[in-house]
Amino acid sequence: MKTEEKENSKNKRQATLLKKKISEFKEVTTKSITDCNAVYLVGHKNPDFDSIASLGAMALVCKRLKKAPYIVMDQEDIEKLENDNDKYYEHEMMEKIKEKFVVINLSDYESNKQDNSLLIVLDTNAYFRTPFKNHYQDFKKILVLDHHCVDDNTIKANNKLILHDCASSCSEIMYWLLKQYRITPSDVDYYTFLLIGINLDTKKGTKSNTMPSTRDCISELLELRKADPVKADLFLNPAYESVRKSYELFNKANWLTLRYAIAVDNENVYTKKEVAYAADLMESFVCEAAIFCGKNKDGKYEVSARSNRGNVDIAYIMRELNGGGGSLSNASCDPIYIDAEGELENKKLLDEIKDIIYLKNNGQKQKQMPRKRYYIKSKNIKKKNKEDDE
Ligand SMILES: [Mn+2]
């Protein structure tokens, strides 16, 4: 018990100290941004998620203080993000930030230098790791926000917030700073990016740099700020085929009317789990029914259905489709073989599902057993299932 108490107060101390340091630095940041003519933001060369997410968050701070910042990157890095396959998600993140903010290269900077400029360095403190070389003297003021150790290469800055022993990542620092500014980006991606930055630097909270404040930060990002954990996983696991495939199937969903999302795909080879995961992704959307079909290694479609409104008996739809069943919110059926190839194969299965939804009478089944309505009137699914059994 006593050690637990000790531990708790130690935890509190770390988080309090971190926030106090950030709060003091906020004053300096505000004054520096407000007083200058132009703000330039840089991360480190060969930018990673922590660096890019921090640039995005700091750009939001500048915007709040009515300054449009320039994000400076190496031309080489800009091209790498454009062209390298394994930089695909770094590129995605950067593209999102470019929707709101300007990114320039070093020669753009050199031809547009301004007096009384401010440089803000993020996620590194080493002078040789930023795109700038002998340019540091150009700036009237330099701020550094970082979580790496200081050494002989540390930039000679006016103000530094270098928290190598009390913050996990630059993204964590930026989260607490945004919070102190009471900045809540309308685009939740900015929060997701910070989560990705933290997850990258802490190996998803498994490394020893995961502080008590880091855990608070992650849970606030997920619960309070609605950062997207699926996207976060996706960005961090480009090699994780499974997540990628599920996401792809999810993205292939067609909406029938407003509330039916149906995806049928035979381009990837899916496992039952991957199809189920894609259907789970739809749960954050309001839908009467999400029905996801992906072809497996045996050449049959795995099918998973979800509903989060409770008006549609998806178990009934699954039973009609291929002897399946389930609950009001979660159902599936046996793998289905469709006698066709290519696009036609997908279309045939889609048509079969549509026929059930639109209560079309086709085939012989109809003659043997009249179709029942799949739409739940009483919402009493238990009763309905019982009737069906009889
Ligand atoms: Mn970092």
Residues 230 and 109 in one domain: yes
The predicted model gives 294-317 an average pLDDT of: 92
Distance 389 CA to ligand 1 centre (A): 59
Based on the domain organization, do 219 and 200 belong to the same domain?
yes
Q: Which of 54-58, 146-150, 279-283 has the lowest mean pLDDT?
A: 279-283
Do 158 and 19 belong together in one domain?
A: yes
What's the 341 CA to ligand 1 centre distance in angstroms? Answer: 48
What domain range is 99 assigned to?
2-236
Give the CATH number of the domain where residue 15 resides: 3.90.1640.10
Pairing mode, strands 70-72 and 325-326: unpaired
Instruction: Report which secondary-structure segment, H or E, holds 334.
Output: strand 330-336
Selected residue with higher pLDDT from 237 and 44: 44
As a whole number, mean pLDDT of residues 178-187 equals: 97
Ligand 1 centre distance from Cα of residue 43 (Å): 9
- Residue 388 reports pLDDT greater than 50: no
At 367, the pLDDT band (50, 70, 90 cuts) reads very low
| 278 and 180 within one domain | no
Please answer whether residues 230 and 195 qualify as being in contact, where contact means their C-beta atoms are separated by less than 8 angstroms. no
Same domain for 222 and 88 = yes
Residue 273, both tokens = 């789990």
What is the reported pTM? 0.63
- What pLDDT sits at residue 384? 40
Tell which of 236, 268, 295 closes a domain: 236
pLDDT, residue 368, reads 37
Q: How far is the CA of 62 from the centre of ligand 1 (A)?
A: 21
Query: Ligand 1 centroid vs 262 CA: distance in angstroms?
Result: 40
Q: Is 342 or 254 the better-scoring residue by pLDDT?
A: 342
| pLDDT above 60 (res 58) | yes
Same domain? For 109 and 200 the reply is yes
331 by DSSP, 3-state: which?
Answer: strand
Residues 65 and 211 in one domain: yes
Helices assigned H by DSSP within the chain: 2-35, 49-64, 75-83, 88-98, 106-111, 170-180, 189-202, 212-219, 229-236, 241-251, 272-281, 314-322, 342-357, 365-368, 381-389
Q: What's the token pair of residue 215?
A: 């855990």
Task: Give the chain's domain count.
Answer: 2
Q: 295 and 223 in one domain? A: no
Tens digit of pLDDT for each residue in 245-290? 887 798 788 887 768 899 999 999 999 989 998 998 777 677 789 9
Mark which of 236, 256, 280 sits at the end of a domain: 236
C-alpha 89/C-alpha 193 separation (Å) is 11
Does residue 285 share a domain with residue 183?
no
Residues 357 and 290: beta-carbon distance below 8 Å = no
Task: Tell whether the model's pLDDT for residue 364 goes beyond 60.
Answer: no
User: How far, CA to CA in Å, does 172 sit from each of 1, 96, 116?
Assistant: 30, 20, 29
Residue 245 Cα to ligand 1 middle (Å): 28
Please tell me whether residues 178 and 255 are part of one structural domain.
no
76 & 165 share domain: yes
Distance (Å) from CA 194 to ligand 1 centroid: 11
- Ligand 1 geometric centre to CA of 50 (Å): 5
Tell me the pLDDT of the chain averaged across its residues.
88
- Range with lowest mean pLDDT among 186-190, 204-208, 228-232, 338-342: 204-208
Inform me whether the pLDDT recorded for 2 exceeds 50: yes
Structure confidence at residue 363 (pLDDT): 44
- Indicate the residue among 186, 209, 236 that finishes a domain: 236
What average pLDDT score do residues 337-352 get? 96
Tokens found for residue 136: 């540091």
Mean pLDDT of 3-17: 80
Domain CATH for 262: 3.10.310.30
Q: Is pLDDT at 196 greater than 50 in this prediction? A: yes
What is the helix (H) or strand (E) element at residue 181, kind and residue range?
A: none
Kindly give the distance from the C-alpha atom of residue 210 to the centroid of ligand 1, in angstroms, as a whole number: 13
Give yes or no: residues 47 and 12 share one domain: yes
Residue 286 token pair: 């309001």
Of 101-105, 116-120, 146-150, 217-221, the range with the lowest mean pLDDT is 146-150
pLDDT band at 383 (very low <50, low <70, confident <90, very high): very low
Under the banding of pLDDT at 50, 70 and 90, the label for residue 244 is: low
**54 Cα–ligand 1 center, Å:** 9
